[in-house]
Amino acid sequence: MEIQVFGTQKSADTRKALRFFKERRVKVHFVDLNVRAASKGELTRFAQKFGAEGILDRESKRFGSLGLRTAHYSDKKWLDVLADEPLILRVPLVRWQNKVTVGLAEGEWGKWVDGAP
């Protein structure tokens, strides 16, 4: 079992996610959004389940500094913006096989770990 976690080292929720999987001895591939942005294809997987608004962090400092507080774009436009500005994503974004979560979702992750071969 290998989990992919998108987030930042400064995010408390991302650190909790990494600790959750480490405590259960699950191999984690961590993608630091400060170093490398998620591709538009990866973001599309999350947006298909949660919608672009669901993966967008309207409360982040970066969101406000970009002047996007009043922006109302289509999902396609938001995905373009998110690919260029990964620091306005709601983190952690966690993926295992075809399953995805946004934010802290320990209950769901526990089901993944318990059901993994």
Q: How far apart are CA 110 and CA 105, in angstroms?
A: 9
- Record the tokens describing residue 56, joined without a space: 């967008």
Angstrom distance (rounded) from CA 30 to CA 77 = 26
Q: How far is CA 101 from the centre of its chain?
A: 7
116 — pLDDT class (breaks 50, 70, 90): low
pLDDT per residue as tens digits for the range 76-87: 888 888 888 888
Cα 63 from Cα 79, distance rounded (Å): 14
Question: How many independent structural domains does the chain possess?
Answer: 1
Q: Given this model, what pLDDT does residue 117 score?
A: 63
| Per-residue pLDDT tens digits for 28-75 | 999 999 999 888 888 899 989 998 888 888 888 888 788 887 778 888
Q: Taking residues 5-13, report their average pLDDT.
A: 93
CATH number at residue 89: 3.40.30.10
Would you state the pLDDT for residue 1? 82
- DSSP 3-state of 89: strand
**From the CB of residue 104, how many other CB atoms can be counted at a distance below 10 Å?**
17
Q: Which domain holds residue 46?
A: 2-115
SS3 (DSSP) at 102: strand
